[in-house]
Chains A and B, each alone.
Chain A
Amino acid sequence: MSGQEWEPVCKFGDLEVERGVAALVHGQAVAIFRTHRDDVFALGNHDPFSRASVLARGIVGSRGEVDFVASPMHKHAFDLRTGRCLDDEHVSVSSFDVRVEDGVVLIGPRQERRAAG
């Protein structure tokens, strides 16, 4: 299955701090974010509340210790690490493994759902 492969999507330098970009990975839209610590995270781009593919365009920030993105539609917050919605524990978006190699951002397979789900 192609979903298991690592796919290079852009240069690390293409990512702006605390902003997102959308990428087409394994045939689906993925939102990739770079934090102020230069960590890179990838979530499904689809906002389950508005059902529009927009998460990459949200504002990135922190709630307590958790880095999150607020959907630009209705401002629901999603944990960048897990895709868990911080406003509604029953909702989450998919999250993907990310690797940066030689300045290139690679998106890996979709992470297993956290046990809590």
Chain B
Amino acid sequence: MTHQRKTLVVAGHGMVGHRFVQAAIERGLTETHDIWVVGAEPRPAYDRVALTSYFAAESADALSLLPTGSYDDPRVHLCLGTEVTGLDAATRTVTLSGGRALVYDALVLATGAAPFVPPVPGRDLDGCFVYRTIEDLDAIRDASRTATAGVVIGGGLLGLEAANALVQLGLETHVVEMAPRLMPVQLDQAAGQTLVRHIEKLGVTVHAGVATEAITGETSVSGLSLAGGEAIEAQVVVFSAGIRPRDQLARDAGLETAPRGGVLVDEQCRSSDPHVFAIGECAAPGGTMYGLVAPGYSMAEVVVDALLDGTGTFLGADMSTKLKLLGVDVASFGDAFATAEGALELVFADAVAGVYKKLVVSEAEDGSYRLLGGILVGDASAYGVLRPMVSSRMALPANPEELILPARSGDAVRLGLPADAVVCSCNNVTKAQIGAAVTSEEGGHACADLSCVKSCTKAGSTCGSCVPVVKNIIEEHFSAMGRVVDKGLCEHFSLTRQELFDLVAVHGYRRFDEIVEGHGRGRGCEVCKPVVASILASQTSTHILERETAGLQDTNDAYLANIQRNGTYSVVPRIPGGEITPDKLIVIGEVARDFELYTKITGGQRIDLFGARIEQLPAIWKRLVDAGFESGHAYGKSLRTVKSCVGSTWCRFGVQDSVGLAIALELRYRGLRSPHKLKGGVSGCARECAEARGKDFGVIATDKGWNLYVGGNGGATPAHAQLLAGDLDTETLVRFLDRYLMYYIRTADRLQRTSVWVESLDGGLDRVRAVVVDDALGLGAELEAAMARHVSGYEDEWRATLEDPAKLSRFVSFVNAPGTPDPTISFTQERGQIQPVMGDPPEPVLLGSTIRVGQ
């Protein structure tokens, strides 16, 4: 039997068109079809969702979804810079710009959408732009070279993206939104206001609830006049007031379109002509147009399935949105506006921190509550867990408010999601599919880790917000199958950090080679080497830059300074407890002035000196050491600071000398290498001005002594420290702290903070109390002795480095030109101080792939 090869034409090579072709190749459609892909833009498909990062990219190639410019499959022909200009459904023929015609067996319209420009007077003036293609961005960039201010019309997702672009281009930036708040489709009033505060901090002026009357100017834009009389001066205007489906081709060919635009298609994305399909923003399945990339991807898969005689259908899409906008987390999912009958709202708002979280729930017949939707602004870390809870309609835990209160533990992730819960909404992957990927029921290939599951199921491969949940599901699955979950550090060690710690202690190892040859494989990597370095540092008192351990250190430890974005380092001398003499302050100022360093007071009561080139570090430290300073260990996973308030010495409320204790503790634990960085705090009274409960160990003075709190931290997942023991005298306090810190150092995982470590122990805080306070394991004396060895073995790492020519020889810019400064490092001046000049604008803004490009 012979088969006639068929011809498939794809009109449009955007993200959705590209996904269609990829799926067609992967699923074997090219075995029977020749595919002609026709794209109007001059370049292959690119990541339009991340468009703004184009400014930070080296070139357009960085965004490309097809960097080689062609598909590996020779049966796919890509014609770029070409438009489909005509469609004759009767003869199944499309005509292309340039005059060529193609006869198709099947046609897939993936022509996307075009920006909508409202009929405002002046919209044709020079300096008016839309925000859709790389060419648009090039034009905006050119115009911004001579402009000082820009306005974005439209405060939806895309408008804020465009505003971010104008900020990156150095323009004074305004956003004008007709609705009374930003992102009116996704956010309620309170969330919108929270977002405004974040955005205004970045220097963007928001005008909400106001219409644009006209764009002013003779031939080019000079400004904007708003309803109510306000005027904005600007030379650049970017329209971002929504999109319209590009469905003209289908209209002209007589295909049915939806009342609000878009090619009307059925559940298989088939138009009123059975040989023509439409996918993405040009399509309107069931009459609804979806302005997100994820539904477009689903439609692409459905059409490939249909062409393979499959039965896949597109029945609507999850319109959840999560993105990082100008550095602010924003998420909106499900019934965010509580439109369902009987819907109740749970709200957590912290105006100071700029966090707003809302859950919309309803009571089910059995009295439990179901999650319908929600909004997260400022902290969207719960999104990965919450969104699948909506689609799965699972019962909420007894205290649903805990889902949005500041994190107390990672427990939320352990909620048992049902098998059909969609975990990855970008790629529509369920919990069951993730389970199947690791199970291999057909006796075929089974994934053993997260990266394999990501590539096999695509879960977590687009916006990444679900990765922690995916990882958890994989581990749950392995545990349920009775399989040992590999908690090994990396491919070189199948041991945990704790196991490695014990091994090093038992054998008395001092070199990485002995350890990896005896208990691992290969030559190590950036994960296991610093772990071994930390373990060796905790057990020995040798300098971390000895020849055996120097190559194991992360760059911060290797150069005893903190690397910054342009490859220079910052220097932080220790200022124990934050107490410093005027003479020492002057020395820091002189050093900063003489080496032209940027100075900033840190959050931990210290002074950070930025912009030191590698070859300058020894000279800077020579000056500081001579003045009596020592290394502040800002670079290490080690004790950073013990913060203090002013205490009873000066404060009218203080009941104990918090400064004295903070200094003593900081000096005692300085240089202590640990699984994660450590911070402490001492407050002189219950007013807690030192924020001690936000630290790994916190001490708060009482009338009778000290209360000791443990397991707090700031950072991405803040945790409050909890009371371990109360009313301690200073000697007992120090003893307990010695035990607590050593117990943590010996048993915690790599990069596990004390808060998470306490939670991970069987028994949690009670277990810590049993070991530290009650000495239930009889380990107390040993832990104290280990700390005593650390204290007596301490030496200032910088002083020792300055005295050792072998160590100093590493602090050169170039081995063959040690005095030549790295020519790629340069600075500009801002507010009277240096700032790094990067070749390009600041870091790209990361966006979820599910950006909504309509309003």
Q: How far is the CB of A80 from chain B (nearest CB, A)?
A: 11
Please pick, from A29, A46, A67, the residue contacting B814 in the complex, using a CB distance under 8 A.
A29
What 0/1 pattern do residues 20 to 53 of A give for CB contact below 8 A with B? 0111110001001001100000000010101111
Instruction: List which B482-537 residues lie within 8 A (CB) of chain A.
Output: 491-492, 513, 522-526, 528-530
Q: How far is it, in angstroms, between the C-alpha of A61 and the C-alpha of B552 when the chains are bound?
A: 10
Contact assessment for B526 and A61 in the assembled complex, using a CB-CB cutoff below 8 Å: yes
Contact assessment for A62 and B839 in the assembled complex, using a CB-CB cutoff below 8 Å: no
Question: A18, A68, A77, A90: which has the most chain B beta carbons within 10 Å?
Answer: A18
What 0/1 pattern do residues 560 to 574 of B give for CB contact below 8 A with A? 000101110000000
| A72-B555 CB under 8 A given contacts A18-B523, A29-B814, A46-B824 | yes
Given contacts A23-B817, A57-B559, 19 further A-B contacts (CB under 8 A): A16-B550, A16-B551, A21-B812, A21-B814, A23-B816, A24-B816, A24-B817, A35-B523, A46-B824, A50-B565, A53-B567, A53-B825, A54-B563, A58-B526, A58-B555, A59-B525, A70-B525, A72-B563, A77-B525
Q: How far is it, in angstroms, between the C-alpha of A35 and the C-alpha of B513 when the chains are bound?
A: 13
Chain A residues with CB under 8 Å of B529's CB are 59, 61
Chain B residues with CB under 8 Å of A25's CB are 816
Q: How far is the CB of A83 from chain B (nearest CB, A)?
A: 16
Contact assessment for B824 and A29 in the assembled complex, using a CB-CB cutoff below 8 Å: yes
Chain B residues with CB under 8 Å of A75's CB are 526
Contact assessment for B816 and A18 in the assembled complex, using a CB-CB cutoff below 8 Å: no
Q: Counting CB contacts under 8 A, is A93 at the interface?
A: no
Q: How far is it, in angstroms, between the C-alpha of A22 and the C-alpha of B547 when the chains are bound?
A: 18
Q: Counting CB contacts under 8 A, is A85 at the interface?
A: no
Q: Chain A residues in contact with chain B, CB under 8 A?
A: 9-10, 14, 16-19, 21-25, 29, 32, 35-36, 46, 48, 50-54, 57-64, 67-68, 70, 72-73, 75, 77, 90
Closest B residue to A91 by beta carbon equals B62
Q: Counting CB contacts under 8 A, is B729 at the interface?
A: no
Chain B residues with CB under 8 Å of A61's CB are 492, 522-526, 528-529
Chain A residues with CB under 8 Å of B567's CB are 50, 52-54
- What is the number of contacts between chain A and chain B, taking CB atoms within 8 Å? 103
8 contacts between A and B (CB under 8 A): A22-B813, A24-B817, A51-B840, A53-B567, A59-B552, A64-B491, A68-B525, A73-B565
B interface residues, tally (CB under 8 Å): 40
Q: How far is it, in angstroms, between the C-alpha of A48 and the C-alpha of B840 when the chains are bound?
A: 12
Q: How far is it, in angstroms, between the C-alpha of A75 and the C-alpha of B839 when the chains are bound?
A: 20
Contact assessment for B551 and A18 in the assembled complex, using a CB-CB cutoff below 8 Å: yes
Q: How far is the CB of A36 from chain B (nearest CB, A)?
A: 6
Q: Counting CB contacts under 8 A, is B558 at the interface?
A: yes
Chain A residues with CB under 8 Å of B526's CB are 58-59, 61, 70, 75, 77
Please pick, from A23, A60, A63, the residue contacting B815 in the complex, using a CB distance under 8 A.
A23
Q: How far is the CB of B568 from chain A (nearest CB, A)?
A: 9
Chain B residues with CB under 8 Å of A59's CB are 525-526, 529-530, 551-554
Chain B residues with CB under 8 Å of A50's CB are 565, 567
Please pick, from A23, A51, A72, the residue contacting B838 in the complex, using a CB distance under 8 A.
A51
Lowest 5 CB-CB distances: which A-B pairs, in order? A72-B555, A70-B526, A52-B567, A61-B525, A62-B523
Contact assessment for B547 and A16 in the assembled complex, using a CB-CB cutoff below 8 Å: yes
Closest A residue to B513 by beta carbon equals A36
Closest A residue to B555 by beta carbon equals A72
Question: B567, B820, B823: which has the most chain A beta carbons within 10 Å?
Answer: B567
Q: How far is it, in angstroms, between the C-alpha of A96 and the C-alpha of B805 when the chains are bound?
A: 30
| A24-B820 CB under 8 A given contacts A19-B551, A32-B815, A59-B552 | yes
What 0/1 pattern do residues 826 to 855 of B give for CB contact below 8 A with A? 000000000000111000000000000000
Closest A residue to B525 by beta carbon equals A61
Chain A residues with CB under 8 Å of B528's CB are 61
Chain B residues with CB under 8 Å of A67's CB are 523
Q: How far is the CB of B309 from chain A (nearest CB, A)?
A: 34
Q: How far is it, in angstroms, between the C-alpha of A35 and the C-alpha of B838 when the chains are bound?
A: 31
Please pick, from B530, B551, B816, B825, the residue contacting A10 in the complex, using a CB distance under 8 A.
B816
Chain A residues with CB under 8 Å of B513's CB are 36
Chain A residues with CB under 8 Å of B563's CB are 54, 57, 72-73
Q: Counting CB contacts under 8 A, is B822 at the interface?
A: yes
Q: How far is the CB of A103 from chain B (nearest CB, A)?
A: 14
Q: How far is it, in angstroms, between the C-alpha of A53 and the C-alpha of B826 when the chains are bound?
A: 12
Chain A residues with CB under 8 Å of B839's CB are 51
Chain A residues with CB under 8 Å of B67's CB are 90
Q: How far is the CB of A114 from chain B (nearest CB, A)?
A: 14
Contact assessment for B523 and A57 in the assembled complex, using a CB-CB cutoff below 8 Å: no
Contact assessment for A22 and B555 in the assembled complex, using a CB-CB cutoff below 8 Å: no
What 0/1 pattern do residues 751 to 786 of B give for CB contact below 8 A with A? 000000000000000000000000000000000000
